[in-house]
Structures are given as C-alpha cells and as structure tokens.
Chains A and B, each alone.
Chain A
Amino acid sequence: MGTEDTSTPRHEHALSSVTIRFAGDSGDGMQLTGSQFTTSTALAGHDLATLPDFPAEIRAPAGTLPGVSGFQLRFSGDEVFTPGDDPDVLVAMNPAALRANIGDLKPGGLLILNDDSFKQKDLDKAGCESDPREDGSLSAFRVIPVELTRLTRAAVEEVGIDNRSADRCKNFFALGMVYWLFERSMEYTEEWLAKKFADRPLLYDANRRALLAGWAYCEATELFAERYVVPRAKVEPGLYRNISGNAAISLGLVAAAHRSGLRLFYASYPITPASDVLHEVAKLKNHGVISFQAEDEIAAVAAALGASYSGALGATCTSGPGMALKAETMGLATMVELPLVIVDVQRGGPSTGLPTKTEQADLLQALYGRPSETPTPVLAASTPADCFGMTLETARIAVKYMTPVVLLSDGYLANGAEPWKVPEVEDLPSFPAKFVDEVDGFLPYARNAETLARGWAVPGVAGLEHRVGGLEKQETTGNVSYAPANHERMIRLREEKIARIADDIPLQTVDGVESGELLVVGWGSTYGAITAAVRAARAEGRAVGHAHVKYLNPFPKNLGEVLSRFEKILVPEMNLGQLALLLRAKFGVPTESLTKVQGKPFTEAEVSGRIRELTTRGTKA
C-alpha cells in the first residue's frame, strides 16, 4: 500500500509492472531525472531495468527533434528482463520530446506534458504543423498538461534565483510528480541534492523546493484520478546496488587485478559508448591501477600489450571503429602470446555510424578481423550486471592461456542498468598469475602440456633474457624461423591452444524446454528480450527453449548437441545474421534469423511475434 497517506483519499491501482519514459531536451536533465527515479525505485524494492537514449550531439539546438534525450525504466514485482517495450507513462518536456516519443506510448497511457512549452515558436522548432494538444492526435491517451515552467518558478521564487536557473529545476518538479504517482519516497533524492549542491546552497534549496512542490501539486489537485502501486519484487536476499554495464566492466577489471595478483594497466582512447570505463577506472588509483589515456586507439592497445610484457594485466576498452584500429596489435599479442583484455562496447556502424546507439554487428570482426590465422577467444555479456562476471572471465582466460581475449558488450548494456547483488570477494574466481622463475632450461616458447600456454617471463629476472616479436617463432625456442613446416606447426598450435579453452568453460545451458519445437539462440544484450519472450511462449504451452551463448569462441563443447535437440532454430541478432552464419558453418544446422539494425534493442513483442509464427500453441504450460 505504499507510503503513509493521510490526506485526500485516492484510488490505488495495482499493476504488476510499469514502464515509464522521461523525454526532453538534452539540456533538460532527463538522464538525471531517470537515474534518480531508478535508484528510488530500486530502494523501494522493485526489480528493474533501464535504457537511456540520448543524441550523439552534446547539445543539439534546443527544442528540436535531434536534441531529444530520453530515459526509459521498467520496474516490477516480478523479475524484469528488459526496460520494457512501449511505455505506460510518458513525461514530455516539450513538443519535440512529445513528437519523438508519442508513437511508442501505449494506447490509454498516461502523458504528462509541460503545458508552458507549447508556444508557437516551440511548435515550429519541433516541426509541428498544429498544436498536438488541440488537433486530436492525443485522443488515445490520458493527457495531463502541467504548467511546469510557471509552477516551478513559483515554487522557487523565495530562493531568489533568476528565471533561467529556476527553469533548470523543472525536471525536479516533474520528478516530484512522478514520485507521488508511484508513491516513492523522496528521501534518496533529497539526500542526493544535499550532497550534490553542498557548496551551492541556493541551488540545493531551489531544486528541493521544486521536487517537493511537484509532489504537493499532485497531492493538492485532482490531477490524477489514481495512484499506482506495484508490488515489491521477490528477489534473493542480500546487498544490492544498481549497476550499468560500463560500471560493471570497470569493477570487473579491478576485481580481475585483485584476483590475479597483477597490477591493472588500463589504456584507452575516448570513444562512445566505452569512455565511461576509462572514467571509472581512472578513479580507482588507490587500487594501484594505472589508467593511461593514449594518443589513439592503436597506442592504447599497444601500451596495454607492453604492460603485459612487463607483467601487468594489460586491458583496453573501445568500440567497433577502435577495435578495427587495434587489430594489428591484437595479432601481435596472438603471436607473442601475452595476456591482453580487449573490450568492445559495440555501437551502430559501419564507420562512425550511430555512435550513441546499440548494435551487435562486431561479432565477425571480433572473431576474424585480423590478418591470417589469428584465433582469439571471444566472450559476450548478456546483461549490465553480467558485464562484471564476464570481464573477470575474460581476464581469467587471457592470463591462463596467454592470449588476447575479446569481450563484447554494446551500447544497450553499457548505459542500461539493473540491480546487482553485490558478490562476496571470496566467491569470485581466483586465478593467480604465475611468472616463470626457473632459469635452468628456460625456453620462451615451451608450453604447458594441458593448456598449451607458454610461460610468462617478465623483464627484470636475471637469466631469463629473451626476445619476442611478430616474426614467426621456432617452436619452444621462440627464435625467428622461416621454416615452412615450423610455420604450419605454430599456426596449428595457436589454433589448438584456443580450441582447448572449450574444456575450461561451462557447458551451454537451456532455459525452457530441453528439446522440442524451437530453440531460440541468442548472444549478448538480446538476453532480456529473448528470455521474456520465451517465458511468455512457455506460458502459452509452446515447446520453446532459449540458449544464450556467452562463449562465441570457442563455443561450449555441447552446443552442437543442444542445437540438434530442436526442430527449428531461431537466432535473433542486432545485425544481419552473424551468429546464425557461424552456427550454420560450424554445425551445419538450418537457422531462422530475426534481425534488427535500428540502433535500438529488440522489444519483447518482436521476439514473441516470431516465436509464435514458428511454433504451435500447446495445451499445457
């Protein structure tokens, strides 16, 4: 029943799940509003998932469509797998935000508008031919026009700041309204404001007044006929925090350093949507982390490889165009057999493409985007929180097998967030790195019989002086060799070393039925949409399973066997069918592709629709 309510009796409407989208100018503070609502919602005990959507331009002209920034959040009393398809509630701060987002609002959905931003010039900037409030185009929705600008100015009047500053508080007025609507506590945001504006008491006062005024406005008026109550989620007990994919990668890298006993050397060059990892890692110097902002993508991976040569955990993070630049150095890492972590936070391409939008079209680049036979382990994270564990796993494989390893994330995981049960350090994998310390009989390219990894001999140890390099190596000695048979032997050894990792990774699991009519095979950030769609199909009694492949090279040993247990295979991907191509090539199975390249993740409905087309409805769940 939510918070204590002693005033106006109001109907409470129980919902199992709510999707809300905040949309405004990129200067309107929508990302901040969204993240505040996210944390308060998590603190209220709901499961949730978020998706920010912002333009590539930092500040496109105010009030225009290219300048619209959005933040979507879904929360529920049940497990949440996606940030929701179509919002139930839309907060639109101006006509441009309305125009860009109204197409997604569910029929009957709640639309909160800033009534003060519909002057003729605002409509012109947004390209509206008529006023949508009056032309009947909003008749399918419950429209709540609010004079956000006037009311905010009135609320902060006593603070004595200018109108421009006062107007910047109107997102907090809107937030206060939404807090009221969902019976959220405002405590977290009040504390956050106090901390954020500790040195600027006027701004603290103004924003807090706007927040409280938004709440009070709903309380005092008959604006809303009902409030919404969403039950708390039943989640595993423990300590939780909200985490984005990029933050999880940063923590994963630092955790990998602790668990391997190595110094983290993180080198990168700013690139959307990966830069946050650099920002986060750079804050953690008390962990002995060296963060190096290189002059370019090549220098970043090169410095990371140099650091690995010296005995650090070399890591770099980038996006598709950056990984293309790193390709030659990644090939060198394969040749000199040193650990190297490369994270690719994929974005829309080719070329500069859609830098702030998501895509999964770098899979083949990750696998094959280097000269010659350059086998490289490739892993993919499924959810924002999963980025943590997969980063650790990437580092584990790199260190154990002395190889570069690629971890694929994407813009959707990078900026999306979800609650994460904070792990105990002692439960994390431990993979202490071992340097060569035996001088007698040392050979730079002698291998571990089981893993085929060569020893890691770091400079500074007397008696282990040796040379590595990009020229082909003679087996065991590592001396330069042009011998034909040796070259073939080394090509096959490098291939075999990576193939053997299949013995050291989990078997492929299946969610849903273990065999039957349809197996949906996904990888990466499609996890949420596929999981939700497959569970819905199961509820309809359809014989559907879901295999989410987290190891793209090598594949889990049983993947072929899993595929063979189903009549049909559906592969949803945010590319034109790259995993499907690999499955057909490797296992000779027919596949159906569901592809989407719009810079946006799949909706649950898109995956569900295809599942329904390919399956028959059963009689029991």
Chain B
Amino acid sequence: MSTLTKKDFQSDQEVRWCPGCGDYAILSSFQTVLADLGIPKEKFVVVSGIGCASRFPYYMNTYGFHTIHGRAPAIATGVKLANPELSVWVVSGDGDALSIGASHLLHAMRRNIDIKVLMFNNRIYGLTKGQASPTSELAKRTKSTPMGSTDAPFNPMALALGANATFVARSVDVIGDHLRGVLHAAAAHRGSTFVEIFQNCNIFNDKAWVSWTDRAVRDDRLVDLVPGEPVVFGSAERRRGIKLDGLDPVLVEFEGDPPADILRWDPSRPDPSLSFLFAHLDQHQDFPLPIGIFRQMGATTYEDRVYGQLDIARQTSGPGDLQALLRSGTTWTVE
C-alpha cells in the first residue's frame, strides 16, 4: 500500500464554513491523523448529522454519509454492524449529539460499538443562526434566550462516562498537537469512542472557550490527562499537581519532579468514578479544566458480541438452509 498523505483525504468540494471557524483546524488535524493510521482510505466512513460540523463528510475524500439531525450514531451503528471491517467516524455538534440525538449517542456508547464520535462543542446552534444549545451556560443570552438561558447545560464528559463509553476524551480545535494526539488514541481504541472538541464559532459565540484555551492562560487553566503520567499542569514558574483527599481533589504546588502523592492518571479502570470526578473538576474553586483522555478501557465490542452469536448459531444449528427453514414447524402432506 502506498503511503497516504493529508492531501489524499481532501475532497474536491469547496469548504464552506465561515472564515475563522474552528472547524477548519479540526478538519486539517483529522485529515493528517487519518493519513497516518496505515488504514486504506476506502475503509473509512464518515457519518454526520445536521449542523455546521455535519458538513464534514463532504470535505473528506472517503466514504461519507451526511444524514439527518441527531441520527448519525444510529445510522453509523448500522454501517458498522453490516461491515465491521470499516473504520466508522461520526462527526457531530453539541446540538446534534446532545439535544435531538442524545438518546442515540448514549445507546451507541453503552453498547460499546466501535464507532468514533467527534463532538464539536461551540455551545451554540450555528447553522440555525444562534440559539442556545444543550451546552450553553446558564444565563447565556442568545436569540432564543434574550433574558438568559434558564436551562442548565450538559457536561459532555460526564454524560459519556455515565453511558459507559469505553473511550472518553476532550481536546481543543486550536491546540493541534494535542488534538492529533487524542485523535490517534481514539483511532487506536476498539469500542465506543467519544471525543469532545472545544470549537470556536466566531460568528455566533466567539471566544466561548478562550478563558481556558487562550495561549496566555492555557497552562494554568487546562490540565492534560495523560495515561500513566502524573496529573500536573501550570506554567514553568508555578507547577502544580492534583492529589486526592478522599473524594476531594487537592492542589499541590511543587518544583522539579512531581511529588509521589500526585495522582498518576489511569483511565483504564473499569470503575469510572475517578474519571467522573475529573469530569466535574471545574466545579472546584481554582481548579483547571481537564482535557486529554478521561477513559480508555478495553472491553468486548458490540460487533464482536453480535458476530459471536452468529458463529454460535451456525455451530449449533448449522448454516442457514432456506428450504429446511420453510419446511420447519408442524407440516402435513396433502396427497
């Protein structure tokens, strides 16, 4: 197989997101990562729902299916089950995945089917021009919430963990190295995969994430959860780590190597409680917002269980014989 490059994954269609949209950076990183995976291009299927993010398949020179609002995880489930050899990716937004399609997302996650859901979270409805989304913060003023949103937002990481997704991660559109690292890990995972990507909508909700992701504050306000590594963050002048005191996270300042009592991140535990705690880390005063890999647990996939049953059925009943099936049950012969 010839080596693929990012260019091989660019379709001939003109990309039509607003100039400055965070989707451009994500598309670029995604194309780069897919080219690196060593998977033949024809094995990729990108499925999407409705929304700005969901135009994604048209710009990918792979198999692609732009479906209907919220249903991408359900359609992708059929795509994957009918041909488990495919590498199936779902591209969705916060409205598509967490509002109209929330149920499909949760059920795909709990089954542990190997589809990889990338949810671009810009905390707004962009394609319909600026209504509150299920991740918009309380009191957020939008066209549909002129006096401020009365709806408490979803926490996407907590939701995916609650649905027992076996790979749960978060990254940021503009932190390319980090995003590509997370996408590589997502691609390597077998099972239900959920990646939230902070994405900027410069038209309807500009700078939604800058208080965490801006270069000037990033080091102090984000903590990257890296499997096997101590949970540390902070600029060079002020290094900090996180340890646990019972159920409470505690900040520890240090210089040099991290102290031994700093938590060493293990996202592979079957019990997701620790990941759940980190999904709510920003509820604690002065704590950073975690990005990186919240959960990465090996488990039998849905498609393996489904095809395993087909094998068992064939072993116990023999391969399906249509004539015998039609003649089954109580029969009688009329002479």
Contact = CB atoms under 8 A, between A and B. Distances in A.
Given A251-B326, A254-B322, A309-B65, A265 B78 contact: yes
Nearest to B1: A462
A280 to B, nearest CB: 11
B79 A463 contact: no
A465 interface: yes
A237 B60 CA distance: 60
A314 B74 CA distance: 13
A306 B47 CA distance: 9
B82 A285 contact: no
Task: Indicate the size class of the contact surface on chain A.
Answer: 35 or more
A298 B74 contact: yes
A358 interface: no
A50 to B, nearest CB: 14
Contact of A306 (B40, B41, B62, B78): B78
Chain B: interface size category: 35 or more
Given A290-B306, A479-B13, A239 B78 contact: no
Contacts of B327: 239, 241, 422
User: Which 5 pairs show the lowest CB-CB distances between chains A and B?
Assistant: A306-B78, A469-B66, A287-B320, A303-B78, A310-B82
Interface in A283-316: 284-290, 292, 294-296, 298-299, 302-312, 314
Nearest to B62: A465
A306 B334 contact: no
Contact of A303 (B75, B83, B313, B331): B75
B325 interface: yes
Given A241-B327, A299-B71, 10 more contacts: A42-B332, A239-B327, A290-B310, A306-B77, A307-B81, A308-B78, A310-B45, A462-B42, A465-B64, A470-B68
A286 B320 contact: yes
B268 interface: no
A526 interface: no
Contacts of A296: 103
Nearest to A312: B82
Contact of A459 (B68, B86, B310, B329): B86
Interface in B285-332: 306, 309-310, 312-314, 316-320, 322-323, 325-332
B314 A302 contact: no
A39 B330 CA distance: 8
24 contacts: A42-B330, A45-B334, A239-B327, A240-B331, A242-B329, A258-B322, A286-B317, A286-B319, A286-B320, A290-B306, A302-B77, A306-B76, A306-B82, A308-B78, A310-B86, A311-B83, A312-B82, A458-B83, A459-B63, A459-B83, A462-B40, A465-B61, A469-B57, A470-B68
B67 A460 contact: no
Nearest to A192: B330
B131 to A, nearest CB: 20
B67 A332 contact: yes
B66 A470 contact: yes
A459 B71 contact: no
Interface in B108-140: none
Contacts of B11: 467
A303 B81 contact: yes
B325 A284 contact: yes
A239 B323 CA distance: 12
A240 B332 contact: yes
A469 B57 CA distance: 9
B79 A310 contact: yes
Majority secondary structure, A binding face:
mixed
A293 B41 CA distance: 31
Given A310-B78, A460-B42, A295 B107 contact: yes
A314 B13 CA distance: 30
A408 interface: no
Contacts of B83: 310-312, 458-460
Nearest to B333: A239
Nearest to B328: A241
A295 B104 contact: yes
A267 B326 CA distance: 22
Interface string A409-426: 000000000000011110
Interface in A13-59: 39, 42-43, 45
A126 B61 CA distance: 70
B62 A285 contact: no
B78 A238 contact: no
B85 to A, nearest CB: 6
Contacts of B317: 286
A39 B329 CA distance: 11
A286 B61 CA distance: 37
Interface of B: 11, 13, 40-45, 47, 50, 57-58, 60-68, 71, 74-83, 85-86, 103-104, 107, 306, 309-310, 312-314, 316-320, 322-323, 325-335
A263 interface: yes
Nearest to B75: A306
A471 B334 CA distance: 56
Nearest to A40: B330
Contacts of A312: 78, 82-83
Interface string A264-291: 0101000000000000000011111110
B325 A254 contact: yes
A368 interface: no
Contact of A241 (B310, B312, B330): B330
A144 interface: no
B66 A468 contact: yes
A258 B112 CA distance: 30
A39 B331 CA distance: 9
B68 A251 contact: no
A237 to B, nearest CB: 5
B78 A466 contact: no
Contact of B43 (A236, A265, A328, A459): A459
A594 interface: no
A34 to B, nearest CB: 15
A553 interface: no
A469 B330 contact: no
B323 A425 contact: yes
Contacts of A43: 330, 332
B334 to A, nearest CB: 5
A469 B71 contact: no
A339 to B, nearest CB: 12
A463 B42 contact: yes
Contact of B318 (A238, A286, A306): A286
A423 B76 CA distance: 37
Contacts of A479: 13
Given A241-B329, A285-B310, A422-B326, A294 B66 contact: no
Given A45-B334, A461-B42, A285 B313 contact: yes
B177 to A, nearest CB: 28
Contacts of B68: 302, 328-329, 332, 470
Most B C-beta atoms less than 10 A away, residue of A240, A286, A307: A286
Interface string A236-260: 1111111000000001001100100
Interface in A202-243: 235-242
Nearest to A303: B78
A480 interface: yes
**By CB atoms of chain A within 10 A, which of B61, B62, B323 has the most?**
B323
Nearest to B322: A258
A555 B116 CA distance: 44
B84 to A, nearest CB: 10
Contact of B65 (A265, A290, A461, A467): A467
B5 to A, nearest CB: 15
B86 A460 contact: yes
A113 B327 CA distance: 38
Contacts of A302: 67-68, 71, 74-75, 77-78, 104
A188 interface: yes
A422 B322 CA distance: 11
A45 B335 CA distance: 10
Contacts of A111: none
A188 to B, nearest CB: 7
Which residue of A254, A285, A295, A306 has the most chain B CB atoms within 10 A of its CB atom?
Answer: A306
